[in-house]
Amino acid sequence: MSAAAVPTAGVDLCDKVVLVTGGARGLGAATAQAVVDGGGKAVITDVLEEEGAATAERLGDAARFVRHDVTSESDWQAALDFAVAEFGTVDGLVNNAGTAAGRLLEHETVEHFRQVVEVNLVGTFIGLKTVIPLMREQGGGSVVNISSAAGLTGLALTAGYGASKWGVRGLSKIGAVELAEAGIRVNSVHPGMTYTPMTAPVGIRTGEGNYPGVPLGRVAVPEEIAAAVAFLLSDAAVYITGSELAVDGGWTAGMTVRHLRGQ
């Protein structure tokens, strides 16, 4: 399936304001696009200033960009204040910012492990904590935390990344049960291998047959993950909280027949 065929336009996000971290490129940019396509407003945050500003400019009047380090509490509050100043409120938060690097556990350094966990898990925690008062005051909201298929199963070469994504999965469930009475929904999305600027250096390719170990036989494009995120942000998902949505082409469901046959 090409990116153009992904049905994000069917998701109604009219009048919703969504803050998307790591929104300069890749999955974050695709999510911001889906928000705007659905009639909403997107506040893009990232440490990549030039790319983030360019993405917001491409999306037009319905998007804004602000520089934002997700590991900083003061940056989080500033980003939220910016969104409210620009668009009046924040109805949705997509904790998408993340970092990854493949290393065997025995070769992982404590310093790098902490760095990955700080961005992927602590950054998500600070973001969730920061938006709670505003969402509680306005009667609800939707938080979508981007975890990974590596947060549903054990994946080699992902000591820091996998551990942090399992943490995001657990944090999402805790948020869901604690915040349901306030009308705040918290869900996690678990992408499989997706072609983005972060994964391109490992040599993955898009197209049918390029990922034979996955039942659907290919990697995802960012728009396919963004479509699932947009759904969870929308009122169509009003009774969904605490869920973990795998958007992985069936990867975590099990091994394919062709993979078992060594094809």
Q: Determine phi and psi for 253, rounding to 5 degrees.
A: -75, -30
Q: What is the pLDDT of residue 162?
A: 95
For residue 236, the SS3 value is helix
- Locate the domains of the chain by residue range: 13-260
Q: Which of 138-142, 160-164, 215-219 has the lowest mean pLDDT?
A: 215-219
* CB-based burial, 120-159: b 16+ in 10 Å, e otherwise: bbbbbbbbbebbbebbeeeeebbbbbbbbbbbbeebeebb
Q: What is the pLDDT of residue 122?
A: 98
Q: What is the pLDDT of residue 254?
A: 82
Segment 22-65, tens digit of pLDDT: 999 999 999 999 999 999 999 999 999 999 999 999 999 999 99
pLDDT more than 70, % of the chain: 86
Mean pLDDT of 2-6: 46
Q: Is 161 an active-site residue?
A: yes
Encoded amino acid at 250, one letter: G
Residues in a beta bridge with 92: 18, 142
Mean pLDDT rounded to a whole number for the chain: 90
Q: Is residue 7 predicted with pLDDT exceeding 80?
A: no
Phi-psi region of 211 (alpha: psi -120 to 50; beta: other; left: phi over 0): beta
**Which one of 161, 195, 211, 239 is the catalytic residue?**
161
Q: Is residue 1 predicted with pLDDT exceeding 50?
A: no
Superfamily of structural domain 13-260: NAD(P)-binding Rossmann-like Domain (3.40.50.720)
Q: What is the pLDDT of residue 148?
A: 95
Query: Cα torsion at 164, 202, 193, 106 (round to 10°)?
Result: -30
Segment 110-161, tens digit of pLDDT: 999 999 999 999 999 999 999 999 999 999 999 999 999 999 999 898 899 9
Please give the model's pTM, rounded to 2 decimal places.
Answer: 0.91
Q: What is the pLDDT of residue 169?
A: 98
Q: Residue 11 has what DSSP assignment?
A: S
Quick check: 228 and 31 in contact, CB under 8 A?
Answer: no
* Cα angle for residues 53, 54, 55 (degrees, 5° grid): 90
Phi-psi region of 196 (alpha: psi -120 to 50; beta: other; left: phi over 0): beta
Q: What is the pLDDT of residue 63?
A: 98
DSSP labels, 51-106 = HHHHHHHHHGGGEEEEE--TT-HHHHHHHHHHHHHHHS---EEEE-------B-GG
Mean pLDDT of 231-251: 97
